[in-house]
Amino acid sequence: MAFEGRVKIVVPGDDPVQIQGSPELAKLEPYGDLTICKDRPATSEEKVKRAEGATVIMNTRGSVKWGEEELRQLPDLKIISLCSIGTDMIDLKAARALGIDVCNLPGRTAPVVAEHVFGMMFGLAKRTAFLTEQMRTGKWPRMNNVMLQGKTLGVIGTGNIGAEMVRLARAVGMNVVAWTFNPSQERAEKLGVQYVEMDELLKTSDVVSLHVAVSDKTRGLIGERELGLMKPGALLVNGARGAVVDTPALVEALNSGHLGGAAVDVYEQEPPPPDHPLFACEQVILTPHCADMTVEGVELLNVGVVENVIAFLEGRLQNVAN
């Protein structure tokens, strides 16, 4: 059912800047009054206060989270439109129980994110961060890099981003195996990969790349046991969510020399604290959850988040995540 009259639309915390200044915002003018909060709410109370009376929340930053108690205080709220693929910042079950639709952007920036993850994998294999730091201290290190052509990439999760990672890896001559919760021969043939059991993937892959959403099934998916199954010297790349990997186990696997390195764009706490143990590991590449932060990627998300709002207000709901 389409909404009659104008509605209140709120962006509760656009920091760092995502949608401020986007020409896409002009498309919302016929539908309602838009308020953009340019800093993050300091408290839960402030966050709720900003969204009071809103029919629509456009959540442009994953750091702005919505739990059940907060959502219960917003009786006018009907939709949260996320500027992301991930939905872990929202209590989806609570939102559904309260009649709040949550819409995300599946696949919108898959090529952008996969390119970042692919670049991290190459940087890790060529030891770029480590060698740069060594040279800055006046050293001239000699150590072997990893040649990726002909090596095996294990892709865990073959949604839109995982599928794009498969395509990029095959293009540079890597062998690819994959794992997913619901493998099918049709999907395998479409991607040009072989689905294998998780243990086999871990044991045979030279690089393991993670592309699963965080859920009860995937939280801690890669822990001490799984890391122990990986080849000595293998590389791990996490562009999924921080909670998918047991961080202490990963640090131990790196420090012991069992793993050859890790590239990480996502963390359980963002930003991570200054004493985060990965900062002390040598063979790591760390980026601040920025895989889709290109000019193109940012605007693709802005287009999508606005489209989802307009579709809802016109009575043609799309991309519902809950």
| Residues catalogued as catalytic | 241, 270, 289
Q: Which residues contact 229 (CB under 8 A, 6 or more apart)?
A: 199, 202, 203
Is 162:211 a contact under the CB 8 Å cutoff? yes
Alpha helices (runs of H) in the chain, residue ranges in sequence order: 44-51, 68-72, 92-97, 110-125, 128-136, 160-171, 185-191, 198-204, 224-229, 247-255, 295-313
The number of beta carbons lying within 10 Å of the beta carbon of residue 30 is: 9
Handedness of CA 81, 87, 88, 91 (dihedral sign): positive
Q: How large is the greatest C-alpha to C-alpha distance in the chain, in angstroms? A: 69
Q: Can you tell me the distance from the alpha carbon of 245 to that of 223, in angstroms, rounded to the nearest whole number? A: 6
Q: To which residue do tokens 């802005």 refer?
A: 302
- The answer to whether the beta carbons of residues 112 and 296 sit under 8 Å apart is yes
Residue 264 three-state SS: strand
**Under 8 Å CB-to-CB from 144, ≥6 apart: which residues?**
none
Compute, in degrees rounded to 10, the torsion defined by CA atoms 182, 187, 192, 198. 0
Q: How many CA atoms lie within 13 A of 83 on its CB side?
A: 31
Whether omega for the bond prior to residue 141 falls within 30 degrees of 0, making it cis, is no
